[in-house]
Structure 1
């Protein structure tokens, strides 16, 4: 009996399992479907108001000096004194003495030139007197025209030439002595220094590299297509606002566009404007050479336009919410993009609502709720 049970044991187990499943199926109640109500997504919108806008163009650049020169010597000599204002980074004002050469040899040369000048003047006066006397005597006792030699004309011309030469030599000696003093040609700052006390230099020897701070320039590259938006606003014509926040504060300066480059950079395809700032180191916040600044230029005015966030636009299309709170896709005419916004014209009507909320999916006619 036990052997017979073990033989049919799998069949019994399967039969019991089938009966159990059958009982579960017939005892299951009817499935009642749950009707969930669709809740439209909550969105934010921007109400369209057509207005007049000034185009703001943006650029950036580095403050650079306009005058940047190598200060050089015009004479041969030894450096006798160097001003502390010639240290790298030091500031100086126009006509400050920066370098003095050993001037003893040039002082002696001036004394010799002065002596030669006195001698030439004395010789000239003597020859002039003899020239006049010879002419007077000839016309009193002579017959006809006298020879040049008899009238002492060559001697007088030679004395006159020697006097001119002596005057020139004296002036040259004076100028050489003045050149012992190297003075600042403008208000500026020292960029590099090449000499010190005891240096032996000659004509053309570089002494220092200096640059002017009477005014500075900033080169501002602008897309060639954006140039057309500039300089139609007479109130702000040529005006540029420069800013820098590297110190933790947003510091601003007002400059002026003085010129536009007549060439386009072949690498960037940009055209450069040049902004000028007068007396940058006399401002409350100094605009220092080498500082990186951002620039905002106020240009052309566009009438009856709408400014909308750039992130609401995709492939020149935006989404509107109509009076039935349903989405509509609309193509727009973009006049200008700035850093954050786009300015569009001849497209939207006052009162229309632009969708500004980013949704995972956007479908024509999709219903939404507008956030109060």
Structure 2
């Protein structure tokens, strides 16, 4: 009996539990399925209006001197003095004596040349007197045509030639004496210094490497497809283009500050670089060291690497849209009056760093969507942000 109870009681509990569960399942409330509504994305928009726009072409380059030469000695001699500015980085003016050579040998040579000239002049006077005497004697004693040799005409011509030779020697000695003063051919700066006081220089030996500072030049490579946006100067028959090219703004950072210089494109180089397939244009900045007009400002030093912004041509009645509004290559995201997204193809004339220039496909006052969308679908419903910007 006890064994039967041990078996029947658990079975009874199990049956009651199953029945209770079945009753609960049968009496549970029915769930009515409701359609799921997709969230409407919120987007930011800009209002587009036609406006004029000046294209900018960005490039980079290094600052180069206008002229870079080796200053050489035209006569041999010992260096006796140098200019106080004759040091690497020193500035000098046109005509300033940079290096002085020993003049004593050349002064002696000039004295000898002048003495020889005086002797030649005395010889001419003597020959002139003797020629006059010969003429008078022939008139008194001679008959017929006199021999030029008897009239001392060849001797007189030789004396005159000796004078010209002596004058040339004097000029050469004066020129050599002047060349002992090695002068600056232009306003410039010393790049490297090669000699100092006490050193002997041979003819043609380099004294220093110098460069001009009246203006600096910057070679700027331009991609071929960017040339359409520039009005570049054409080189004239005399090889010069002048200062009528587009304006260039140069920028470089020194520490935490950005400095700017203004110049102009003055010419283009003669060929397209075969390696980069770019055309180099040359920009010029006048007085890069501020010696005349901009004292105290940061100089545009030779060798400095700069970013350049070249002012290009202008376009009228174009739409300037942020790049975020463009989908793919030529499709723009718009929001219509019913707050629905519209995808439309437009004609893009140029893609810049932050904006896209559109010439056709938009109407004034339309709203361009600049918010990123994962899967934009034409006609989808969107919510426009209340703090929408207006394109200026």
Q: TM-score normalized by structure 1?
A: 0.89
What pairs up with 1:148-167 in 2 under 5 angstroms? 148-167=148-167
Offset from partner CA, 1:133-163 (integer Å, 9 cap, x none): 3234434543222222101122112211211
Aligned position for 1:346: 360
Equivalent runs, 1:8-19 vs 2, <5 Å: none
CA contact (8 A) 1:243 1:250 kept: no
Distance 1:237 1:42, change over 3 A: farther
Which of 318, 339, 351 pairs up with 1:305? 318
For the 8 Å contact 2:128–2:156, the answer to whether it is kept is yes
Other-structure match for 1:370: 384
Corresponding residue for 1:319?
333
Count of matched residue positions in the alignment of Structure 1 and Structure 2: 370
Q: Shift of residue 21 of structure 1? A: 6.3
1:241 and 1:11 map into 2 onto residues whose CA distance is 98
Matched position secondary structure for 2:257? coil
Contact 1:319-1:328 within 8 A present in 2 as well: yes
- Map of 1:126 onto structure 2: 126
Structure 1 residue corresponding to 2:273, chosen from 260, 265, 271: 265
Secondary structure at the residue paired with 1:324? coil
Query: Residues of 1 paired with 2:12 and 2:208: CA distance?
Result: 110
Query: What secondary structure is seen at the aligned counterpart in 1 of 2:320?
Result: strand
Deviations 1:207-256 (A, max 9, x none): 110000111111111112222222299xx962323232413333332212
* CA deviations over 1:158-204 (Å, ceiling 9, x no partner): 21121111111111111111111111111111111111222222111
2:302 corresponds in structure 1 to 289
1:110 is matched with 110
Residue 246 of structure 1 is matched in structure 2 by: 253
Q: CA, structure 1 residues 158+318, in 2 after alignment: closer, same or farther (shift >3 Å)?
A: same
Contact kept in structure 1, 2:222 and 2:280, CA below 8 Å: yes
Partner Cα distance (1:255, 1:274) in 2: 10
- TM-superposed CA distance for 1:325, in Å, is 0.8
- 1:139–1:368 Cα change, 3 Å: farther
- Asked whether the equivalents of residues 134 and 152 of structure 1 are also in contact (C-alpha less than 8 Å), the reply is yes
Aligned partners of 2:158, 2:269: CA distance in 1, in Å? Answer: 58
Change (3 A) 1:39 1:311: closer
Q: CA deviation at 1:28?
A: 4.4
Cα offset, 1:73, TM superposition:
0.9
| Offset at residue 7 of structure 1 (A) | 11
Take 1:14 and 1:177, find their aligned partners in 2: how far apart are those partners?
132
CA contact (8 A) 1:242 1:293 kept: no
| 2-structure distance, mates of 1:4, 1:123 | 170
Match of 1:98 in 2: 98
Instruction: Flag structure 1 segments of 5+ consecutive residues without an equivalent.
Output: none
1:71 has 2:84 as partner: no
Match of 2:286 in 1: 278
Does the 8 Å CA contact 1:240/1:254 hold for their aligned counterparts?
yes
Change (3 A) 1:36 1:110: same
Counterpart of 2:75 in 1: which secondary structure?
coil
Report the counterpart of residue 88 of structure 2 in structure 1.
88
* In structure 2, C-alpha distance between the alignment counterparts of 1:147 and 1:12, rounded to whole Å: 173
Asked if the contact 1:231–1:237 (Cα under 8 Å) also holds between the matched residues in 2, the reply is: no
**1:189-208 map, 5 Å:** 189-208=189-208
State the Cα distance separating 1:71 from its structure 2 match: 0.4
Q: What residue number does 2:59 align with?
A: 59
Give TM-score scaled by structure 2 length. Answer: 0.85
Report the Cα distance in structure 1 between the residues aligned to 2:102 and 2:11, rounded to whole angstroms. Answer: 126
Distance 2:57 2:4 in 1: 98
Any conservation in 1 of the 2:244–2:266 contact (CA below 8 Å)?
A: no
Compute the displacement of 1:288 (Å). 2.1
> For residues 23 and 86 of structure 1, what CA distance do their matches in structure 2 show?
111
Secondary structure of the structure 2 residue equivalent to 1:157: helix
Cα distance change of structure 1 residues 15 and 193 upon mapping to structure 2, 3 Å threshold? farther
Contact 1:240 1:295 (C-alpha < 8 Å) held by counterparts: no
